[in-house]
Structure 1
Amino acid sequence: MATDSAKQDEKPAIFEPISGENEDTGLTEIQSLCVNCEEEGTTKFLFIKIPFYKEIIISSFYCPHCSASNNEIQSAGTIQEKGVIITCKVQNKSDLNRQVVRADIASVSIPELGFEIPPASQKGTLSTIEGIIQRSVDGLQQEQPIRKSLHPDVFEKIEAFIGKLKTIRTGETPFTLVVNDPSGNSFVENPHAPNHDPALTFTHYKRNLEQNKALGLSIELPEPGQGLDLKNEVITFSTECPSCGVTNETNMKVVKIPHFKEVIIMATNCDTCGKRTNEVKSGTGFEPKGKIITLKVKSTEDMSRDVLKSETCTIKIPELDFITGGNAISGKFTTVEGLLVDLKAMMLETNPFVGGDSATNDKLRKFVEKLDSLLKGATPFTLILDDMNSNSFIQNIYAPEPDPCLSEVEYERTYEQNEELGLNDMNTENYTS
């Protein structure tokens, strides 16, 4: 009886894991007004949890009177800490089949054509690159008969542009697809994962005030000029949790790392949803050169070394043929083991295409297995931090003596790296107002 009672008390999950074996997915249907003919149609909602990614809501509308239909996808997960710009070089027809998760707040552009789909102009979709182009073609063609009668010159220009879209849709003409999502919830498939995809780049950025307002977020900073002593005090100010939106306290402190430099550590702990965030910023200016730090990890003692990874630092593990961009993981002050844990979480939680039985997913699973082997200390490996601003650090456990497992090499930054740091246009000499 107790068992039966417990089963009755159990509530079914709203979001069902997506699975080929699960046919009963909890489909919800409601009657809704058709905006086309103003008759009654049917909207179906499907609440799905994509493995290792997030929860989404798929909605599908169909009107039996005029045959109008509409499909949308909405993220039911949290807004990410940073926005993301995804750049994909489409070079052949197979690239057109890359899956794309596009949030409704995201803009999509093709620089070669001067074409852009503005934010909120279309609902969120789960599609392919070819599907996005086809949807744009359909949208432009919709009003063409009216334009032909009323504005022939506009009709001709749009018709020519539609022809360009149809040309790149064949995959014979290379082009660039750029997805800019302030919420950080959009994604473009990497068919080579977990290996680096040279045609795909992710650039994470901090949202500006307007973008935070568009997402319903706001940040209140403390009033300036309060005589704050950052070096000797922990400064507290109010921020909103990026996960649930509840106001929390963020702690900020300047810390001097021995044999390195000063850094600013900021940490937030949300008591409502349990979300924890920590971020590390350099307390100094731009260094004149970049630096490559190489650590040979041979023992559990090496796994406990302190690591400071800045936002401009690239992480490489040659034994796994693994490389990640600087902004893939935000600035952190952790250990070697903690950094590997963050890499594992990044691979599993931010990649919506891990689940399933494809060869790509099998590669990802094998990569995670190898990463687990490194975490257990069963396999020696090499950790390389390549920081173009020289603001990253790995602890020398023999300091002030040389460390036989640790090496550092400085190098001159390239023009492109200086451009990314905003140094090429910075004038600090002979400046006049």
Structure 2
Amino acid sequence: MLSARVVITGLGALTPIGNNVKEYWEGLVQGKSGAELITRFDTSKHKTKFACTLKGYSPNDYFDAKDARRMDLFAQYAVVAGDEAIRDAQLMSPLVDKERVGVIWGSGIGGLGTTEATVLDFVKNKMDPKINPFFIPKIIPDIPSGHLSIKYGFKGPNFATVSACASSINALITGFQLIKLGDADVVVTGGSEAPIIQIGIGGFNALKALSQKNEDYMTASRPFDKTRDGFVMGEGAGVLVLESYAHAQKRGAKIYAEVVGVGMSADAYHITAPDMGGVTLALQRALDSAKLSPDRIDYINAHGTSTPLGDINELNAIQRVFGTHAYKLNINSTKSMTGHLLGAAGAIESIATVLALQHQLIPPTINHKILDEAIDPQMNLTLNNVERRSILFAQNNAFGFGGHNASVIFRKWDES
């Protein structure tokens, strides 16, 4: 089974620039910024007063009142995007054995909003230990995989991967490996995050990780720009349905792209500061897994968070791995539009990468004005405008606090 091909047969997205896959892709191509001032809580004491938030999302549009109360927003987002992907892949077909469908989920933080609300209520009520019985089920990072399996009856492997901002790429890689090993025919995989709350903004401000460009918030996410000062927080979910090619072919499923290589590594260096050696290993291992030479890659959707150290570290690693071919690549950062969805970032960016392969169109890195002097000007960072080009292989990177690195390579689908 290790030779089994793994393809993508369904997509679902709930993002700051679109509440479904179609809207999300349109937002990417249009170079749309998802940033806005935060209004859900008082930001007067916060250094950062903006984020990339969902637009027009209401739990009542998707859940009854009782179910909504029993789910943190990060789980709600997962179910909404999961529903779209499962419908897209037509997994309720009688040709799909539900005992062979797994759900692997990624979230870096889980139910942070529920944690904040519960602690505040606990203190307000003078330490009365009458905690809501759904407190624990609402906050654990694996609960989205539980909700999706219960709703649809999927009885395959079911758990969560937690590796900070690499979480949903690690979920995708795990799904890929499960199918390769023959432990599942189909894996619903993705990630979700709902961190735009007081302790989320405050915590990342304390790390000096967030942009503080409150006067220019619409353009604050500016990867590779000399004036970048940190990432912009985002929220939402992304889902990809992975399936063995033989299984997809047997049931006549449509196919978006093929997953051909995966790579993982640890920096073994520092909990927050990036290290080029670990990133280089992940990129090279993905190429080795795919049995590809570096010159076969056409496009990289970079982790590109808009942090001063992280952006440079990633581009330096790309140059180390790809050599002179680095100048022939298109590189972009879709975080310039969506902000950074933390554990869900890899999922929505993998969707963007897959759609770029399908449409042969690379979304821009927006908000760019001045190139950082530390960046080689010969590198094509797809600045401010979409680019059409022939793309056969594309790579997506994700790196997380703790030194977790992950990279995935996708191939344009060709029926032949």
TM (norm. structure 2) is 0.25
**Larger helix share, 1 or 2:** 2
Based on CA coordinates, which of the two structures has the bigger radius of gyration? 1
User: Does 1 or 2 have the higher relative contact order (CA < 8 Å, sep 6+)?
Assistant: 2
**Larger strand share, 1 or 2:** 1
TM (norm. structure 1) is 0.24
